[in-house]
Structure 1
């Protein structure tokens, strides 16, 4: 089995689903949030759009220390900008995965906040973590859209909206 090829196929499949969901995010509701502890729609959609680029970190770095960086989310003002961000994130992540030698998949990889370790895995594990985060936050986005009464597309089959339910 060519694990890199399998991961690339999975990444492509998830990207197609994610792009359909992101395309529905309404600009006029960017500041909406379902709860004070929740991200705004714009924050969540931006996060979903950026996650595929985490694969670049998995490939090119051996750790991420949140305390060492000054991450700022990409500034967005439109749905078109959101989709452009996602397309760029996907392409850079896909290209990084495509150049990752399979022999490096078991290289240790750590996500931390200073001395606190959040994730102690391998490069393979971090790629899978990025995929899992995409799916998790895309599902949250689906709930946000549903709460805004926006029909959502199916992920792994038709949605209730597509079925006429």
Structure 2
């Protein structure tokens, strides 16, 4: 079995779940921070929306070097723009998951900042940890922000308390 085929159902489920929570963001609270060290709700949402771009970054390259990357974080202020960006990223990542070979997924990938190497692992492990686990972690943070703001939190693995019917 191709690993891309194995990963696909989970990927599609988690992306649909992520889209629901991004869509639940109240735009008037994009500047909300849970504390002074935390990312703002807007920065967190923009970060989550770009995480699917790490699939092409990992599958099509052998490393990501922060010291040479010209990274500029997105700063969408409208949920509609955020969702459009997310959808585009998910579509590209979905296509790559459909096409990626097991050989590619077994190749090593490195995350570095110049000479400082953060990790090297097979691309399949990068997909699971650097992409999926990372996305799910930040999605959990976002759900806590929504709850603190009194916004409705969509269910992720079944109905949420806001979706329960009596």
Report the TM range for the smaller structure's normalisation: over 0.9
Greater mean deviation of Cα atoms: 89-98 or 44-53:
89-98
User: Scaled by the length of structure 1, what TM-score is found?
Assistant: 0.94
Confirm or deny: 8 A CA contact 1:15 1:90 kept in the other structure. yes
CA distance in 2, matches of 1:161, 1:131: 25
The residue that corresponds to 1:64 in the other structure is 64
Structure 2: any 5+ residue segments left out of the alignment?
none
Shift of 1:160: 1.9
The residue that corresponds to 2:121 in the other structure is 121
User: Scaled by the length of structure 2, what TM-score is found?
Assistant: 0.94
Shift of 1:75: 3.3
CA distance in 2, matches of 1:14, 1:144: 19
The residue that corresponds to 2:155 in the other structure is 154
- Confirm or deny that 1:90 pairs with 2:111: no
CA distance in 2, matches of 1:53, 1:11: 13
The residue that corresponds to 2:31 in the other structure is 31
CA distance in 1, matches of 2:2, 2:59: 17
CA distance in 2, matches of 1:2, 1:93: 16
Confirm or deny: 8 A CA contact 1:109 1:120 kept in the other structure. yes
CA distance in 2, matches of 1:160, 1:26: 18
Shift of 1:115: 1.6
- The within-5 A match list for 1:2-151 is 2-129=2-129, 130-151=131-152
**CA root-mean-square deviation:** 1.4
CA distance in 2, matches of 1:118, 1:137: 20
